[in-house]
């Protein structure tokens, strides 16, 4: 499906991906949205595919998509933020196959068309898993969620999960993004779990040498259990330098 990117030529579109699953993409995306709104920007959110949902009334609700809808300021419904919710918390193409459904770029694009019609300054699309997430393997040529980012020519923000192996994961993800013809404009060092990474500072320094785009934040693991997720996200937003996103 061809997407009319001229609906709002002034809207900046950013695709948030990560080195792996559970890297904190939603946490970082919400913090980015909060920081951009503090800079007087109107921000929409889009998480086309989310696996792992609870049925509430007649809707499948994904916790991450719900957070995004709460932070964005374009009055989007949960279905507008996340048009493809899947119940099982497994690989999306497998979750879809189990209910007799095939995922397609056309379906992802249809939801994005609605996002483009909003009069937002910036849209943040949050991917699922890592960069090369399969959508459909039952075709002569497999399709990936990264194909959607490529088709829409979105600039990419890479969330690096700071753990053992992250140097390899970050560099391979960056190289794949560049090989796909897109700009990776920024990266975020995110401590997504309570496991303390040995030599964290040295690894971040190494990533700063390996990755040519700016690091816009180094986020700690927020271990305070008395602090709400919303407050943790708001605190993280204060640590982000959004300058590269406003150029």
Q: Which residues are catalytic?
A: 47
C-beta separation of 204 from 189 below 8 A: yes
Token pair listed for 159:
């969330």
For the chain, how are helix, strand and coil distributed in percent, rounded to 5? 35, 20, 40
Which residue has tokens 């019609």? 117
DSSP 196: P
12 has which bridge partners?
122
Token pair listed for 7:
């609906």
Token pair listed for 23:
């890297």
70 has which bridge partners?
none
Among 190, 193, 246, 180, smallest CA distance to 217 is for: 190
Which residue has tokens 């068309």? 113
Token pair listed for 246:
């406003």
Cα separation, 66 vs 156, whole angstroms? 22
Cα separation, 35 vs 43, whole angstroms? 10
DSSP 76: -
CB crowding 84-94: b at 16 or more within 10 Å, else e: bbbeeeebbbe
């Amino acid at each position: 499906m061809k997407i009319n990117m001229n609906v709002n030529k002034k809207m900046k579109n950013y695709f948030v991906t990560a080195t792996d699953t559970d890297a904190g993409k939603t946490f970082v995306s919400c913090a980015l949205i909060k920081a951009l709104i503090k800079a007087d920007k109107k921000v929409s959110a889009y998480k086309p595919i989310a696996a792992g949902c609870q049925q509430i009334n007649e809707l499948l609700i994904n916790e991450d998509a719900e957070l995004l809808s709460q932070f964005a300021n374009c009055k989007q419904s949960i279905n507008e933020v996340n048009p493809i919710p899947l119940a099982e918390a497994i690989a999306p193409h497998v979750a879809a196959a189990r209910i007799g459904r095939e995922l397609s770029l056309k379906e992802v694009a249809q939801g994005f068309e609605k996002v483009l019609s909003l009069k937002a300054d910036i849209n943040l699309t949050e991917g699922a898993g890592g960069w090369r997430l399969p959508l459909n393997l039952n075709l002569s040529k497999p399709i990936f969620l990264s194909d959607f980012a490529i088709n829409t020519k979105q600039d990419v923000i890479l969330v690096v999960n700071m753990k053992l192996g992250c140097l390899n994961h970050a560099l391979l993800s960056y190289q794949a993004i560049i090989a796909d013809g897109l700009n990776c404009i920024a990266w975020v060092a995110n401590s997504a779990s309570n496991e303390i990474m040995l030599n964290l500072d040295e690894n971040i320094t190494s990533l700063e040498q390996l990755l040519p785009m700016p690091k816009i934040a180094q986020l700690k693991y927020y271990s305070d259990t008395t602090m709400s997720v919303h407050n943790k996200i708001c605190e993280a937003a204060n640590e982000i330098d959004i300058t590269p996103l406003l150029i």
